[in-house]
Amino acid sequence: MVIDDLRNASLCFGMHKNFRTAFDYLLRTDFTHVANGKYPLDCENVFAIVNRYETQSAEELKWEAHRKYIDIQFVSKGFEQIGIEDINKVPHLTEYDKEKDVQFFIGGGNHFPLIEKTFAIIFPHEVHKPGIAITKKSEVIKVVIKVRVV
């Protein structure tokens, strides 16, 4: 997992051949003017999902992981917490859904704040629980960039 300010995104370009595409989109886009939805950046290799929502209590959310895609979760507006844990440290709640590229888990983990203009890179070996309210519920504009693993 990597958590950093978007201003430092170029430090991550060498981590994956498609990270430059993902971060260039985040750096050049004002998401207050982008509707919720899915936006292809490189077919199914890299795409963005823009969403507006209200953060929730940790109990209302599920731990999840993906196998086909790395998540780059970017908070364009607002703030939230994200839980992160190693996939080998938590039991699974469901079997892996290949079509939706998701598996749900039971467990705990460490929680980190994602404030406005910060991102988290979450790899397939990490389960995560995004969208957690920090002290009270708040409105968030979140962009999740999905980057195909291989």
Contact 108, 85 (CB under 8 A): yes
On the question of pLDDT at 103 being above 90, the answer is yes
**CA atoms within 13 Å, Cβ hemisphere of 143:** 28
Any idea how long the chain is?
A: 150
- For the chain, which domains are there? 2-148 (2.60.120.370)
Q: DSSP assignment of 21-87, as one string? A: HHHHHHHH--GGGS-SEEEEEETBTEEEEEEEEE-B-GGGS-EEE-SSEEEEEEEEESEEEEEEEEG
Specify the pTM.
Answer: 0.95
pLDDT in tens, 64-94: 999 999 999 999 999 999 999 999 999 999 9
On the question of pLDDT at 107 being above 90, the answer is no
pLDDT score of 36: 98
The dihedral through the CA atoms of 12, 40, 113, 61 has a sign that is negative
The overall average pLDDT reported for the chain is 96
pLDDT score of 109: 87
pLDDT score of 150: 77
